[in-house]
Structure 1
Amino acid sequence: MRASFKERRASRKVRGSDKISYLPNHVIDIILTYVPLKDAARTSILSHQWRYKWVNLSTLVFDNTFGRVRNLVSSRYKLLMNIFQVLLVHDGPIYEFVLSVPGLESCLEIDQYLNFVSKKGVQNIILQIWKGKPHVLPQSLFSCLQLIHLSLCCCVLNKPPPAFRGFSKLVYLILREVAIDAEKLSSLIGKCPLLEHFTIESSRSYDYLEVGAPNLKFLHCNAQFENVIYVTTPLLANISMSLKVLRNEEAFEEEWTLLELLGCHSVIEDLHLDYYYLKSWLKGGACFSLDHLKVLKLSAICFGMTNEVTCAHLLISNCPNLQKLAFEAYSSQEGLTVHDVEFYVELHQKDLSSCQVRELEMLNISVSWPELEFIKIMLSKLLKLEKMLIAPNFKTVADGGFNLLKEVAKFQRASPKAVIKFKDW
Structure 2
Amino acid sequence: MGSHSKLKVGGDGEDKISQLPDALLSHMLSFVETEQAVRTSILSTRWKNIWASVPSLFFVHCCCKERGSSNHAVFVSFVDRALHCRGLLDIQRFYLRYYCFSVDLSRIDGWIRNVIRRNVVELKLCVRVYEDTVEKIELPKTIFLCKTLVILKLNFNCFIYAPPESGCFPNLKVLHIRLDCPDKDFLEKLFTFFPLLEDLFIYGRLSSDISGTFKLFVPELKRLKIDFASNMSYEDPYEYYLSINAPKLEYLDLRVDFLRSIVFDNAKSLVKAVFSFSHRDAIELERYGYRATTLLAAVSNVQHLSLSVHSLAASCMPAFDNLIHLKLVIRDCHHWILLPMLLHRAPNLECLELEHNEVRFTFQNISRARVRRNRFTY
Q: TM-score, normalised by structure 2?
A: 0.74
Partner Cα distance (1:347, 1:93) in 2: 55
Structure possessing the higher radius of gyration over alpha carbons: 1
The corresponding residue for 2:71 is: 75
The residue matched to 1:263 in structure 2 has which SS? strand
Aligned partners of 1:210 and 1:230 also within 8 Å: yes
Match runs of 1:300-319 below 5 Å: 301-302=309-310, 305=311, 308=312, 310=314, 314-315=317-318, 318-319=319-320
CA deviations over 1:62-98 (Å, ceiling 9, x no partner): 125x989xx9997222221221121121231111111
1:148/1:185 CA distance change after superposition, 3 Å: farther
What SS does the aligned partner of 2:128 have?
coil
1:217 partner letter? K
Q: Which residue of 2 aligns with 1:229?
A: 243
Give the aligned residue type for 1:359: C
Residue of structure 2 equivalent to 1:293: 302
Is 2:367 the partner of 1:383?
A: yes
Q: Against the structure 1 CA distance between its residues 296 and 282, is the aligned structure 2 distance closer, same or farther, given a 3 Å change threshold? A: closer
Structure-2 separation of matches of 1:23 and 1:237: 42
Superimposed CA distance per residue, residues 338-379 of structure 1 (whole angstroms, 9 cap, x where no aligned partner): xx9xx95x9869972852222222234278xxxx9xx8xx97
| Contact 2:145–2:170 (8 Å) recurs in 1 | no
> Compared with structure 1, are the counterparts of its residues 100 and 364 closer, same or farther at alpha carbon in structure 2 (3 Å cutoff)?
farther
SS at match of 2:367: coil
The answer to whether residue 194 in structure 2 is matched with residue 210 in structure 1 is no
Alignment of 1:22-421 (within 5 A): 22-63=19-60, 75-91=71-87, 92-103=89-100, 106-108=103-105, 109-132=107-130, 133=132, 136=137, 137-155=139-157, 156-161=159-164, 164-178=166-180, 180-205=182-207, 206-207=210-211, 208-223=213-228, 226-231=240-245, 233-245=246-258, 256=261, 261-275=263-277, 279-280=289-290, 290=299, 292-299=301-308, 301-302=309-310, 305=311, 308=312, 310=314, 314-315=317-318, 318-331=319-332, 344=337, 352=344, 355-365=347-357, 382-384=366-368
Q: Tell me, what secondary structure is at the counterpart of 1:193?
A: coil
C-alpha spacing 1:289/1:168, structure 2 compared with 1 (3 Å): closer
- Whole-Å Cα distance in 2 between the matches of residues 279 and 114 of structure 1? 45
Deviations 1:117-149 (A, max 9, x none): 111101111111234248542334334331111
Whether the 8 Å contact between 2:289 and 2:313 is mirrored in structure 1 is: no
- How many aligned positions are there? 337
Structure 2, unaligned runs of 5 or more: 1-11, 231-238
Q: Which residue of 2 aligns with 1:11?
A: none
Task: Name the SS of the counterpart of 2:32 in structure 1.
Answer: coil
TM-score where L is the length of structure 1: 0.66
Give the SS at the match of 1:227.
strand
The amino acid across from 1:130 in the alignment is R
Identity of aligned residues (%): 21
Match of 1:6 in 2: none
Alpha-carbon contact 1:380-1:413 (below 8 Å) kept: no
Provide, for residues 48-75 of structure 1, a one-character-per-residue CA deviation record: whole Å limited to 9, x for no partner: 33221111221111125x989xx99972
1:168-196 superposed Cα distances (whole Å, 9 cap, x missing partner) = 11001111234543433343342321101
Determine the C-alpha separation between the residues in 2 that align with 1:161 and 1:37.
32
Q: Distance in 2 between matches of 1:226 and 1:185?
A: 11
* Inter-partner Cα distance in structure 2 for 1:76 and 1:279: 51
Quick check: 1:216–1:235 contact (8 Å CA) kept in 2?
A: yes
Give RMSD over aligned pairs. 4.2
Distance 1:362 1:106, change over 3 A: farther
The amino acid that maps onto 1:241 is L
Matched to 1:228, the amino acid is L
- Kept in 2: contact 1:149–1:170 (CA 8 A): yes
CA contact (8 A) 1:124 1:148 kept: yes
1:310 partner letter: A
* CA distance 1:167–1:314, change in 2 (3 Å): same
8 Å contact from structure 2 (residues 33, 57) kept in 1 = no
1: CA distance between counterparts of 2:26 and 2:178? 32
CA distance in 1, matches of 2:143, 2:342: 56
After superposition, the Cα gap between the structure-2 partners of 1:351 and 1:25, relative to the gap in structure 1 and judged at 3 Å, is closer
More displaced 10-residue stretch of structure 1: 82-91 or 43-52: 43-52
Unaligned runs of at least 5 residues, structure 1: 1-14, 246-250, 387-411, 419-425
1:268 deviates by 1.5
